[in-house]
Amino acid sequence: MLQINNLSMTAGKFSIDDINLLVPDGCCHVLLGGTGNGKTLILEAIAGLRSIKSGEIYSDGINIEGEFPENRYISYVPQDLALFPHLNVEKNILYPKRFKKNHIRSDEEIREIIKYLQIENILHRSIKNLSGGEKQRVALARAFVSGNKVLLLDEPFSALHFTLKRTLWGMLTDIQKRFNISILMVTHDLEEAEFLADYVSILYKGRIMQSGIKEEVFENPTQIEVTKITGHYNYFSGEVIGINDDSCIVYISSLDSIFSVNNIAFIKSDKVTIAIRTNKIKINPLDDKIPNTIKCKMQNLYKTSNYNQLALLPDKMKGERIDEVEEIVVDFYDDKNLDFEQGQKITIHIPINDIYVFKNN
């Protein structure tokens, strides 16, 4: 188990403030955030490669802050992998065996790791002649051979082709389960996080915005910054005009419409922002008189193999939306082979439970 309490640090002008993280045994915790938000700094601090201002780092209940990296028993695979260019694949993988104090894997286990990661055939190759995916697997193998129970991964698969990524995600999960490894991984890849994570934390400008079980964070974003990282949303600014027992009424001026939302933590005339997930919008509901419907005209249709994307122009559009986009974007899975013409009238409905409201700062 890895536990980070109130970690703060600075690197140049950039600062990391009050980070709290928990990685239970055998779990994968994904630190999600765009580049330049301090993800790598946090991993380096945990690995002992960078000094911190304050905070505690517990590994299996022992505070390892201040220890040398080699005495923390935490493996770290940096984004560039740092494979040793003067050693071949096998020597890279067996490198941790040189240090007796490590909880070295048995030869049997090492063979298993090599097999899991499918590197039997490249053991005697030079590092320089490996493909990106091969390098990635060698770096993972080396980290696993160290026998450390905690593994830190920095954007491990970002440079890889997406089909290759998925294969590696599978391999990683298998070994993790087999050896009961706790993984803390940073990425900006949403799909990767959804695939690998048990827990997710959202990092924004050196602070954690939200942390918790993956589904919880993705389904219930508590801050608008979280929505920007965990999915695709349409944003509208509005004002609370009425409060009910379990919902409130928000007026969206740009659409000249009234929305009913679930959240009740507001008072009247609060300025708020509404976020609507692009894939939660229903097209042409049977009853277009129900609340939370908007009448639009079809503007554009983009088709991909996974989903279709509609760009709609609201009929009552006035002024600009906060994100300076006029269109409402709708992602849908097309199982009926729908066809739309430009200018065609489309009504959309947003279920009350899929509207997120955040108070403006």
Partner 1 sequence: MGMKKVSITFSFITLLFYLTLIFSLLSFISKDRFFEILFSERTLFSIKLSMTAAFVAVLLSFIIALPAAYALSRYEFFGKNFVDLILELPMIVSPAALGAILLLFFYNNLGTWIQGNIQQFVFTFYGIILAQFTTILGITIRMIKNGFDEIPSRYENAARTLGASSFQAFRSVSLPLCRRSILSTLIFAWAKAVGEFGATITLAGTMAMRTETLPVAIFMRLSVADIQGAVVLITILLAIGLFVLFIVRQVIGGKSNASN
Q: Looking at 65-73, 177-185, 293-301, 323-331, which segment touches partner 1 (CB under 8 A)?
A: 65-73
Q: Looking at 17-25, 80-88, 213-221, 274-282, which segment touches partner 1 (CB under 8 A)?
A: 80-88
Q: Which amino acid is at 293?
A: T
Residue 62 touches partner 1, criterion: CB under 8 A:
no
Do the beta carbons of residue 258 and residue 290 sit within 8 Å? no
CB of 128 to partner 1, least distance (A): 7
Residue 60 touches partner 1, criterion: CB under 8 A:
no
Residue 48 touches partner 1, criterion: CB under 8 A:
yes
- DSSP class of residue 188 equals S
Residue 78 touches partner 1, criterion: CB under 8 A:
yes
Residue 76 touches partner 1, criterion: CB under 8 A:
yes
Residue 9 touches partner 1, criterion: CB under 8 A:
no
Q: Looking at 33-41, 70-78, 184-192, 314-322, which segment touches partner 1 (CB under 8 A)?
A: 70-78
CB atoms within 10 A of CB 29: 23
Cα 259 to Cα 267, 272, 315: the distances in Å are: 15, 12, 16
Q: Looking at 112-120, 140-148, 177-185, 218-226, which segment touches partner 1 (CB under 8 A)?
A: 140-148
Partners of residue 249 on adjacent β-strands: 242, 260
The count of chain residues that interact with partner 1, using the rule CB under 8 A, is 28
Q: Which helix (H) or strand (E) holds 321?
A: none
Do the beta carbons of residue 246 and residue 200 sit within 8 Å? no
Q: Looking at 23-31, 142-150, 290-298, 325-333, which segment touches partner 1 (CB under 8 A)?
A: 142-150
- Looking only at the bridges linking them, the beta strands covering 257-261 and 248-252 are antiparallel
Residue 136 touches partner 1, criterion: CB under 8 A:
no
Q: Which of 30, 42, 64, 143 binds partner 1 (CB under 8 A)?
A: 143
Binding mask 301-330 for partner 1 (x = CB under 8 A): ------------------------------
Q: Which two tokens stand for residue 140?
A: 């993972």
**DSSP calls for 153-165:** EESTTTTS-HHHH
Do the beta carbons of residue 321 and residue 236 sit within 8 Å? yes
CB of 121 to partner 1, least distance (A): 20
Q: Looking at 34-42, 46-54, 225-233, 347-355, which segment touches partner 1 (CB under 8 A)?
A: 46-54
- Rank residues 13 and 101 by Cβ distance to partner 1 and give the closer one: 101
Q: Which of 8, 10, 15, 95 binds partner 1 (CB under 8 A)?
A: 95
Residue 80 touches partner 1, criterion: CB under 8 A:
yes
Taking only Cα atoms into account, the Rg of the chain, rounded to an integer number of angstroms, comes to: 24
Q: Which two tokens stand for residue 108?
A: 């049997």
Residue 49 touches partner 1, criterion: CB under 8 A:
yes
CB of 85 to partner 1, least distance (A): 7
Closest to 40 in 3D by CA, of 189, 148, 184: 184
Distance of CA 200 to the CA centre of its chain: 7
Q: How far apart are CA 220 and CA 276, in angstroms?
A: 12
Residue 68 touches partner 1, criterion: CB under 8 A:
yes
**Contacts for 213 with CB less than 8 Å, ≥ 6 apart:** 198, 199, 200
Partners of residue 273 on adjacent β-strands: 237, 358
Q: Name the site residues for partner 1 (rule: CB under 8 A).
A: 44, 47-49, 68-70, 72, 74-76, 78, 80, 82, 84-86, 95-96, 98-99, 101-102, 126, 128, 142-143, 146
